[in-house]
Amino acid sequence: MERPSFSQGRRYNSFVGYFKQRYGTRLQKIVVDAGFTCPNRDGAVGIGGCTYCDNDAFHPSYSTPDKPILQQIEEGISFHKNRYRGAAGYLAYFQPYSNTYAPIDTLKKIYYEALSHPEVRGIVLGTRPDCIDPEKLDWLAGLSKETIVIIEYGIESVYNKTLKRINRGHDFSTAEKAIRETAERGIDQGAHFIFGLPGESKEEMMAMADRINRLPVNSVKFHQLQIVKGTYMEIDFRDNPADFVQFTMEEYIDFFIDFLELLRPDIHIERFAGEVPPKFLNHMPWGTIRYTELHRLMEKRLEERDTWQSRRFSQIY
């Protein structure tokens, strides 16, 4: 099978390459914490939140809800200008918790405040599929004609047994509905999945590729499960270790490449692994390796195996 012509000569469809193609430049995300919560935290559908979640473990120190949004953006720009010098503009990334979980008038005020910053080119909204509705989607579709709008849906698994165990508070059909309604309005969207959730075998994780291929998503993020201190997942992992597939770093890279071979060629890969500061983790089987090094090793392994995204996709569909 002939390899597709992916951007930047890569062996997979890079989200960074997609952004450069579509918008002509690199745009850096600036994390913004607008003080949202989630319906599985405030009692609307549950309490306690997702069993693996501690938002402090994955958002930067400059982003805290006690600071005004524009201050967070200014501090984020200063941080990234020192670290990533290639960005020509910024996206306000509403990441912690569910960032469409509020009345639409509240959302408009928050999003417009972020968009008022002269260096902000658009917004990225991390949210849950049960925190969106037609009214919000219609308004966001209109806004997307004026500026960049991307919705990132946390889906985590395609299996309802897993979603129940991790206390998501919604089923997979809710995610499918939200994704299809978003696509119908032409809004850019991505989805997030976790490999290694309790009760899922490697075979079940691999089978998720088929379900993802059937979704009209533009991009996907994948993370390996990381056990964060103080979460209910930490207790579950302690009490039921046999329920968890524990990858070595080398096993995970090969597993992900096997998975990548099954994915549609037009799906853009934003990440294939997660990175949590060591102080938050109670279990560190990969040590303190950074994502940039993991990414380098994954690309090297693709070369060694002489394979690419979608290599086995056409054999199935």
Express each pLDDT in 110-143 by its tens digit: 999 999 999 999 999 999 999 999 999 999 999 9
| Statement: residue 174 has pLDDT above 80 | yes
How sure is the predictor about 37, in pLDDT bands with cuts at 50, 70 and 90? very high
Contact 274, 224 (CB under 8 A): yes
Q: What's the pTM value of the predicted model, to 2 decimals?
A: 0.94
Do 129 and 155 meet the contact criterion of CB atoms below 8 Å apart? yes
Collapsed DSSP state (helix, strand, coil) of residue 220: strand
Beta carbons of 151 and 140 less than 8 angstroms apart: yes
Q: How far is CA 9 from CA 6, 23, 219, 223, 292, in A?
A: 6, 19, 18, 24, 18
In the block, which residue shows the tokens 């745009």? 27
How far CA 245 is from CA of 116, 198, 262, in Å, comes to 45, 7, 20
The rounded percent of the chain whose pLDDT value lies above 70 is 96
**Domains in the chain, start-ordered, CATH in brackets?**
7-305 (3.20.20.70)
Q: Under 8 Å CB-to-CB from 30, ≥6 apart: which residues?
A: 72, 73, 76, 77, 80, 90, 91, 92, 93, 120
Q: Which pLDDT does position 168 carry in this prediction?
A: 96
pLDDT per residue as tens digits for the range 233-245: 999 999 999 999 9
Average per-residue pLDDT in the chain? 93
**Quick one: pLDDT band at residue 278, thresholds 50, 70, 90?**
confident
Each residue of 68-94: pLDDT tens digit? 999 999 999 988 877 666 677 899 999
Q: Tell me, what's the pLDDT at 79?
A: 85
Q: What pLDDT does residue 314 have? A: 72
The amino acid at 48: G
Q: How far, in Å, CA of 124 to CA of 189, rounded?
A: 9
- Identify the band that residue 58 occupies on the pLDDT scale cut at 50, 70 and 90: low
pLDDT band at 17 (very low <50, low <70, confident <90, very high): confident
Residues with Cβ < 8 Å from 90, sequence gap 6 or more? 27, 28, 29, 30, 73, 76, 77, 80, 117, 119, 120, 121
Does the CA dihedral 113-116-119-121 come out positive or negative?
Answer: positive
Are 178 and 152 in contact by the 8 Å Cβ rule? The answer is no
Map residue 268 onto helix, strand or coil: strand
pLDDT of residue 19: 78
Which positions ≥6 away from 293 have C-beta within 8 Å? none
**What's residue 223's pLDDT?**
95
